[in-house]
Amino acid sequence: MVRHHRSEACRRGAVQIRQQLQQAQKLESIGRLAGGVAHDFNNLLTVINGYSGLLLRTLTPTIPFARALTEISIAGERAAALSRQLLLLSPKQVVPFHLVEPQRSCCRGREDAPESDQADISD
C-alpha cells in the first residue's frame, strides 16, 4: 500500500514537472517571437526616425508639413520605446550601454572646487 502511494505521488510529480517544462518552453517561444518582431520593427524605425530627423533638421519650421513631420518623429520615438520593451521579452536581451568618461562623470558639478580637491583619475 505504501509503495503504491509513493509511485502515484512520483507519477503526479512527474506530470506536474512535465507541464511546467511545457509552459516554460511556450513562454520561451513567445519571447523569441517577440524579440524577432521587435528586431525587425526596430530596423524599420531606424529608417523612419533617421529620415524624419534629417528632414526636421534641414527644413524650416514654417513649411506646411513641418507639424506632420514632427508628429511622425514623435510617433517613431514612441514606437522605438515600445520595441525596446518587446525586446525585454527576448531570451537574448541586449542590454544597451553607453560610454562613460570617469573624469567627467565623477567631477561633474565640481568645476568650482579647487584643483587640490579634485582627484586625478586620468591614469
Say if pTM beats, i.e. exceeds, 0.85. Answer: no
Domain ranges of the chain: 2-92
DSSP symbol at 94? P
* Distance, CA of 39 to CA of 109 (rounded, Å): 38
- Closest-CA residue to 55 (of 30, 38, 40, 73): 73
Q: Give CA angle at 41 (57, 80), nearest 5°.
A: 50
Predicted confidence band of residue 116 (pLDDT cuts 50, 70, 90) = very low
Cell triple for residue 69? 513631420
Judging by beta carbons within 10 Å of its beta carbon (0-12, 13-18, 19+), is residue 48 exposed, middle or buried?
Answer: middle
Segment 37-77, tens digit of pLDDT: 888 999 999 999 999 999 999 988 888 888 899 999 999 99
Which residue type sits at 46?
T
Structure confidence at residue 103 (pLDDT): 54
